[in-house]
């Protein structure tokens, strides 16, 4: 455990809702080794984004975050404001889903790229500019000098997401949190942007936590995959074995409900019902109401994550499926 870069242990996140608390993330335990890419897969509202934000303590105001989050041996939840900022500036960087909303629209691309270098790393403005142009070239933007003078509204979504990736590379962090980095993009640019991110990350030896609802994308780019549902992790396996032998009925459901180019289906199989958030789930297994394999034992208590033939799975009937 000690050589892990990031350790999440029993992480729980509640947000205030009137007088009550609503649980968004519950009992999440996950590790990432240096240079490793871990995919966190789940539907909207499963708590995957909130889990990633918890690592940087970017939870919504008033939220209650508990459990243990350790980055490179440092307990993140105990950090003071100064140390937390240092962690955010140098060690962990985040790529957000919608670059158009997540990059300040009134400042130039050049400002966005050099801001962190100039402010945090005390790089002289001229050198920061040159470095930013090189970074733009690294992410496949050739006319960097011109782009530096432009503003976000003059760039396409794909270009902007590359700018976002360049800004993350600029501070050379140890861990990249990528929150659905390609979801807001055209299908054609999705794979391009993902390839750039994956290549540059490997080159620089950065670890990555990739948050996505796209199981196939995660399988293609990540070493290990964790599947989340209703704020809990249902299954963790290496990417290869997960695709071959999914252990949890939910993972199986996710895999068959995805359209494929070489398999013509008149109607895609879907997982019946709608996804629930952690605070909406009943007493038993949160996935039980939608599960095709559910039996009476699924109604008694949340199944814990347990080891099964090299995988970790939270299903009492995992052996049977």
Partner 1 sequence: MSWPLFLARRLAALVAVLLVASFLVYGLLYLVPGGPMAFLLGNRSGSPEQIAAIRHEYRLDDPFLIRYFGWLGDALRGDFGQSLVYRQDVSDLMSTRLATTGLLVLYATVIIVVAGVGLGVLGALRRGTVDAVISLVNSIFLATPTFVVGVLLVIVFALGLGWFPVFGPGAGLPDRLYHLTLPAIALSLGSAAFLARITRASVGEELRREHVETARSRGFSQSHIVRRHVLRNASIPVVTVTGLTVAGLIAGSVVVENIFALDGLGSLLVRAILQRDFAVVQGVVLVLVTAFVLINLAVDVCYSLIDPRLSPGEAT
Residues that bind partner 1 (CB under 8 A): 56, 58, 84-90, 93-94, 96, 98, 101-108, 115-116, 119-120, 146, 149-151, 153-154, 167, 171
What's the N-to-C CA distance of the chain in angstroms?
31
| Rounded least distance, CB 127 to partner 1, Å | 19
For the CB of residue 66, give the shortest distance to partner 1 in the complex, in Å: 21
Give the residue ranges of DSSP H helices in 103-186. 109-120, 125-138, 144-149, 157-170
* 103 vs 133 by CB, closer to partner 1: 103
Asked whether 277 and 45 are in contact (CB, 8 A), the reply is yes
Q: Is 307 exposed, middle or buried (0-12, 13-18, 19+ CB in 10 A)?
A: exposed
Q: Taking a C-beta distance cutoff of 8 angstroms, is the pair 20, 30 a contact?
A: no
Q: Give min distance, CB of 272 to partner 1, in A.
A: 33
Least distance (Å) between residue 193 CB and partner 1: 17
Question: 1, 7 in Cβ contact below 8 A?
Answer: yes
CB closer to partner 1 out of 161 and 288: 161
Q: Report which secondary-structure segment, H or E, holds 240.
A: helix 239-244
Closest CB to partner 1 among residues 155, 314: 155
Would you say 17 or 86 has its CB closer to partner 1?
A: 86
33 or 84: CB nearest partner 1: 84
Which residue matches tokens 């199944």? 303
Q: Which is nearer to partner 1, 64 or 146 (CB)?
A: 146
For the CB of residue 91, give the shortest distance to partner 1 in the complex, in Å.
Answer: 9
Shortest Cβ distance from residue 86 to partner 1 (Å)? 7
Q: How far is the CB of 5 from partner 1 (least distance, A)?
A: 18
CA dihedral 7, 11, 15, 19 (to 10 degrees): -150
CB of 26 or CB of 174, closer to partner 1: 174
Least distance from C-beta 96 to partner 1, angstroms? Answer: 6
Q: Which is nearer to partner 1, 101 or 125 (CB)?
A: 101
* Least distance to partner 1, CB of residue 125, Å: 14
Q: CB neighbours of 111 closer than 8 A, spacing ≥ 6?
A: 104
**Residue 271 CB coordination number (10 Å):** 18
Dihedral angle over CA of 134, 138, 141, 147, nearest 10:
-30
In sequence order, the 6+-apart residues with CB closer than 8 A to the CB of 289 are 273, 276, 282
Beta carbon nearer to partner 1, 79 or 255: 79
Residue the block writes with tokens 């957000």? 96
281/230 Cα distance (integer angstroms): 7
- Read off the DSSP letter of residue 303: P
């Amino acid at each position: 455990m000690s050589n892990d870069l990031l350790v999440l242990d029993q992480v729980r996140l509640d947000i205030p809702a009137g007088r009550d608390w609503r649980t968004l993330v519950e009992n999440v335990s996950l590790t990432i080794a240096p240079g490793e890419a871990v995919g966190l897969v789940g539907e909207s509202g499963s708590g995957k984004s909130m889990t990633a934000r918890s690592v940087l303590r970017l939870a919504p105001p008033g939220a209650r975050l508990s459990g243990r989050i350790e980055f490179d041996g440092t307990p993140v939840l105990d950090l003071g404001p100064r140390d937390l900022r240092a962690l955010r500036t140098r060690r962990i960087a985040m790529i957000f889903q919608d670059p158009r909303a997540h990059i300040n629209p009134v400042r130039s691309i050049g400002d966005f790229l050099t801001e962190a270098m100039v402010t945090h790393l005390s790089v002289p403005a001229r050198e920061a500019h040159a470095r930013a142009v090189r970074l733009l070239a690294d992410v496949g933007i050739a006319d960097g000098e011109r782009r530096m003078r432009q503003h976000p509204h003059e760039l396409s979504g794909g270009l902007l997401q590359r700018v976002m990736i360049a800004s993350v590379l600029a501070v050379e962090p140890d861990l990249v949190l990528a929150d659905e980095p390609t979801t807001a993009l055209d299908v054609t640019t999705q794979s391009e942007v993902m390839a750039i991110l994956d290549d540059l990350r490997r080159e620089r030896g950065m670890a990555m936590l990739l948050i996505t609802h796209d199981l196939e994308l995660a399988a293609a780019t990540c070493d290990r995959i964790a599947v989340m549902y209703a704020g809990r992790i249902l299954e963790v396996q290496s990417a290869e074995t997960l695709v071959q032998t999914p252990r949890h009925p939910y993972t199986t459901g996710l895999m068959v409900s995805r359209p494929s180019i070489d398999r013509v289906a008149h109607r895609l199989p879907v997982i019946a019902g709608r996804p629930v958030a952690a605070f909406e789930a009943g007493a038993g297994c949160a996935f039980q109401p939608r599960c095709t394999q559910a039996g009476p034992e699924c109604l008694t208590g949340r199944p814990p994550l347990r080891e099964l033939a090299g995988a970790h799975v939270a299903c009492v009937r995992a052996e049977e499926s």
